Amino acid sequence: MAAVTDAALMVPGPRSGLSVALRWLLFAILGLFALIYLFPLFVMIVTSLKTLDEVRAGNLLSLPPNPTLEPWISAWSTTCVGLTCEGLKGYFLNSILMTVPAVAISAVLGALNGYVLTKWRFKGDGIVFALILFGCFIPFQIVLLPMARTLGLLGLASSTPGLIFVHVVYGLCFTTLFFRNYYAAFPNDLVKSAMIDGAGFFRIFWRILLPNSIPIIVVTVIWQFTNIWNDFLFGVSFAGGGGAMPVTVALNNIVNSSTGVKEYNVHMAAAIIAALPTLVVYVLAGRYFVRGLMAGAVKG
Amino acid sequence: MASLTIQNVIKRYGTIEILKGINIDIDDGEFLVLVGPSGCGKSTLLNMIAGLDTISDGTIAIDGRRVNELHPKDRDIAMVFQSYALYPNMSVEQNIGFGLEMRGVPKEARAKAIADVARLLQMEHLLKRKPSQLSGGQRQRVAMGRALVRDPKVFLFDEPLSNLDAKLRVEMRTEIKKLHQRLKSTIVYVTHDQIEAMTLATRIAVMRAGELQQLGTPREIYDRPANTFVAGFMGSPPMNLIKAKVVDHDGGPHAAIDRLQDGEIVLPLPANDGLRGAAGRDIILGLRPENITDPQGAVGGAGPVLETDCLIEVTEPTGPDLIAVVEMGGKEVLARLRPDAEARAGQRSRLVFDMGKAVVFDAGTEARIA
C-alpha cells in the first residue's frame, strides 16, 4: 500500500534530456529578467560610491576604483535643495513625520470602517462600501484644486498636518477595502461570543478583531507606507515650497536644480536614501505581504 | 438557573415568517432540546433567546423577566457555539476568563473561578495553550468551560457536538449529560441529531418550517408523536408509517393493510377513543421497527399482538439487531429482529406485531388520532 502511494506521488525517476534542457532554459530566462531589474540599482549604487571625476571618466558599469562615501554624506547633509544647502536630512524627517501618522491614522480608521461594514451591518451599508470603494479609482489630479482650497480653509496649507490629512483621506478607501474584505471572512461567532461575554463595540474591536488582524495590518501598513512615502504630486502641490516639503520633492529639487554641475554621484545617493525606507519596510514585512494578500482573497 | 418562557414568538425577515408563533415553557433545571431539520428555525430561536437576533413579535422571559429588549450581556446567559468561537489570540485561561474580565471581576476571583472550571472539566494542563494547539474535543471543552465559569441563569448550546467525530461526540454527549445532572442548570440545546435530543433532553421541542410540531418528554415524543413528521424524524431507524384502512373486526378497530405478495393483513389497533366509529376511515399506521420482531425476540406487551408470516425482502445486520425489510401498504417496512433470528431474504418468516405501542394518524392531516 505504502509503495503504491509513494510511486503515485513521486515524479517519474530519470529525467528526460528535454525536460532538463527546458528547465535550464527557464532558469536562464528568469536570471536574465532578474538582471534587467537589478541593473538600474547596480548602476545607482556603483555611481554613488564614485567621485564625480570617476563618474565622468569611467564606464557606467565599472566598479568604483576608490569607493567613497563622500556623495552619501553630501546628499544627507550638505547638498543644496533649492536655496538651502543642508542636504536631505530635514526633508527625510519631514517625510517620516508625515508618513508615520498618516499610515497609522488611515490604518486605524480603515480597520474601524471594515469592522462596522462587516460586523455591525446597517441599512445601506453596501452602498456606503461601494462609494468608499469608488474612492480608490479617483485619480490624484482631480482632487488637487478642491483639496488645496480645503486645506486653505482649514489653515493647514503647506504644513505636515495638512499632508497627513490629505493622505489619510486618500488612503482611507484602500485601507477600508483591505480590512472590510479581511473581516468579511472573520467568524461572526467570535463577535457574538464576545457580545455575550459582555464586551462592547470598541472592546470587541480592540481585544478580539485587531489582535487577529496582523496579516492585513501588515499589508495595509506596507501599502500605505509605500504610497505615502513615495508620493510626489500631493507633496509638491501642497508643500512644494514650505518647511513641510517631503523627501521626494526635495530629491526632485536636487536633481533638477539648474545651477552648478550635475553631481550624479550625489543624486544617486540621494535617490537611494529617499527610496530606502520603503525598501526596509518591504524586506522586514514582505513575507506577510504575500501571505496577507492571500488571506484577504481566499477564505480560511 | 431559571425558568424560560417563550410566548408567541415570531421572527420575520421582511414579509417572510421564519418563526410562526412559538410557545415553549420550561422550568428551572430543565434540559430543553430544540430539534428539527436544517432551516426549521431552531438556531434562529436560540439566537433570539441569546439576544443575538431581534424578536419580531411575542415575548421571551427568563425567570419571569421579559428580556426582549435586553442586550445579550444583560440576559445572564452563556452560549456554546458550533464553531466553539474561541478567541484565537488568547490562551485557554484568557478565553475562559474573558467574560469575567468584561464584567469587572477582580483578578484573584477570576483566577479561582478559572481553576474551578478547569478542574471540573479536567483541563488544568491546557490552561496556558492557545486554541490552535488544541484538538477538537479539547476546544469543545474550553468552549463549555467558558460558558460554565460565568454560572449563568441559562446555558445555550448551538449544535456543540456536530464538529466532532462520531466517537468523541458520544463521549462529550455523556459528559454534557453528567454536567447537567451535577449542576442542575437550565439548558437550551439545539441539534439536528435526534439521538442527541433523545439522550440529553428532559424535554424536546420538535420544529419544522418555523412551527413547533410537538413539545414533550423524550418518552412522549417517541411513543406518542403528535404527527407523522415527528414520528418519522425521531428514532433511528424511523417509525414505519403505513397506509391503512380502519375496519371493524372481532368487535374492535383493526387496520387493514394491502400487501403485494401476501395479500391483505389485518392488525388489531389498541382500543382508543380516537378510533370510535372510525371504520372505513383512511389512516396512517405508525409502528416502530422494534415492535415488529421475530417470535423469540418478542416481549409480551400490554396491547394486542398478531403473529403472521411475512416475505422478507432484504436483511441488514447492524450488529446488535437484524433489520428486516418487508413490504406493506406499498412501502418498505422495517422490522427489528434479534441478530440471530432466522430470517432470509426472499423467504417467508414469522413476525410478531406488537400493537400495544402502535399509533394512528389521520391520512389527510397527518395528525395523531390514536
Are A166 and A36 contained in the same domain?
no
Pick the CATH number of B240-362 from 2.40.50.140, 3.40.50.300, 1.20.58.100, 3.20.20.140: 2.40.50.140
Indicate whether A74 belongs to any domain: no
Cα–Cα distance measured from residue A140 to residue A169, given in angstroms and rounded to the nearest whole number: 12
Indicate whether A84 belongs to any domain: no
Please give, rounded to a whole number of angstroms, the shortest distance from the CA of B84 to a CA of chain A.
8
Contact between A203 and B83 using a beta-carbon 8 Å cutoff: no
Contact between A196 and B83 using a beta-carbon 8 Å cutoff: no
Are A95 and A226 contained in the same domain?
yes
By the CB < 8 Å criterion, does A121 face chain B?
Answer: no
Model ipTM value = 0.84
Please give, rounded to a whole number of angstroms, the shortest distance from the CA of A205 to a CA of chain B.
12
Contact between A189 and B73 using a beta-carbon 8 Å cutoff: no
By the CB < 8 Å criterion, does A252 face chain B?
Answer: no
Are A98 and A55 contained in the same domain?
no
Are A38 and A143 contained in the same domain?
no
Q: B199-203 long-range contacts, Cβ below 8 Å, gap at least 24?
A: B199/B173, B200/B31, B200/B33, B200/B173, B200/B176, B201/B31, B201/B32, B201/B33, B202/B30, B202/B31, B202/B32, B203/B26, B203/B30, B203/B31, B203/B32, B203/B33
Cα–Cα distance measured from residue B91 to residue B108, given in angstroms and rounded to the nearest whole number: 17
Which pLDDT score, from 0 to 100, does residue A258 have?
66
Q: Which of A195, A197, A206 to mutate to test the interface with B (most CBs of B within 10 A)?
A: A197
Q: Tens digits of per-residue pLDDT, B297-339? A: 777 667 788 888 999 999 999 999 999 999 998 899 999 999 9
Where is the domain boundary, A24, A39, A68?
Answer: A68
Indicate whether A78 belongs to any domain: no
Chain A CB contacts of B82 under 8 Å are 189
Are A215 and A160 contained in the same domain?
yes
DSSP assignment string, A148-173 = HHHHHHHT-TTSHHHHHHHHHHHHHH
Are A99 and A182 contained in the same domain?
yes
Indicate whether A5 belongs to any domain: no
Question: For A208, which of B50, B84, B87 is closest by C-beta distance?
Answer: B87
By the CB < 8 Å criterion, does B103 face chain A?
Answer: yes
pTM of the model: 0.82
Indicate whether A274 belongs to any domain: yes
Domain regions of chain B by residue span: 4-233, 240-362
By the CB < 8 Å criterion, does B52 face chain A?
Answer: yes
Contact between A212 and B89 using a beta-carbon 8 Å cutoff: yes
For residue A48, the enclosing domain spans 14-68
Chain A CB contacts of B83 under 8 Å are 187, 189
Indicate whether A6 belongs to any domain: no
Are A95 and A164 contained in the same domain?
yes
Q: Tens digits of per-residue pLDDT, B188-233? A: 999 999 999 999 999 999 999 999 999 999 999 999 999 999 999 9
Please give, rounded to a whole number of angstroms, the shortest distance from the CA of B90 to a CA of chain A.
9
Contact between A187 and B85 using a beta-carbon 8 Å cutoff: yes
Query: What's the fold here for domain B4-233?
Result: Rossmann fold (3.40.50)
Indicate whether A144 belongs to any domain: yes
Per-residue pLDDT tens listing for chain A (300 residues): 444 444 444 455 566 788 899 999 999 999 999 999 999 999 999 999 988 888 888 788 888 888 888 889 999 988 888 778 888 989 999 999 999 999 999 999 999 999 999 999 999 999 999 999 998 998 888 889 999 999 999 998 889 999 999 999 999 999 999 999 999 999 999 999 999 999 999 999 999 999 989 888 988 999 999 999 999 999 999 887 778 899 999 999 888 876 777 888 899 999 999 999 998 988 888 777 666 555 544 433
Contact between B102 and A198 using a beta-carbon 8 Å cutoff: yes
Residue B299 to residues A108, B288, B306: CA-CA distances in angstroms?
72, 14, 12
What total of structural domains would you count in chain A?
2
Indicate whether A9 belongs to any domain: no
